[in-house]
C-alpha cells in the first residue's frame, strides 16, 4: 500500500513539475507581449500557487 502511494505521489510530482515548466514558459512569452498588467499578475499568481502545491 505504501509503495502504491509513493508511486502516485511521484506521478503527481512529475505532472506538477511538467505543468510548472509549461506555465513558466508561458509566463516568459506573456512578458514579451504588450498585455494588460492584470493578466500578467494573474499568471504569476498561478505559477506561485502551482509551486506551493508542489511543495506539499
The x, y and z cell numbers of residue 40, run together, are 500578467
Tens digit of pLDDT per residue, the chain (56 long)? 566 777 767 777 777 778 778 888 888 887 787 878 888 888 889 888 888 877 77
What is the signed CA dihedral for 40, 31, 26, 35, rounded to 10 degrees?
A: 50
d(CA 50, CA 25): 14
- pTM of the predicted structure, to 2 decimals: 0.51
Q: How many CB atoms lie within 10 A of CB 12?
A: 12
**φ, ψ at 34 (rounded to 5°):** -85, 90
Amino acid at each position: 500500500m505504501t509503495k502504491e502511494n509513493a508511486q502516485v505521489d511521484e506521478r503527481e510530482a512529475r505532472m506538477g513539475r511538467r505543468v510548472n515548466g509549461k506555465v513558466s514558459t508561458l509566463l516568459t512569452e506573456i512578458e514579451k507581449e504588450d498585455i494588460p498588467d492584470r493578466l500578467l499578475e494573474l499568471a504569476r499568481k498561478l505559477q506561485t500557487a502551482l509551486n506551493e502545491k508542489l511543495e506539499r
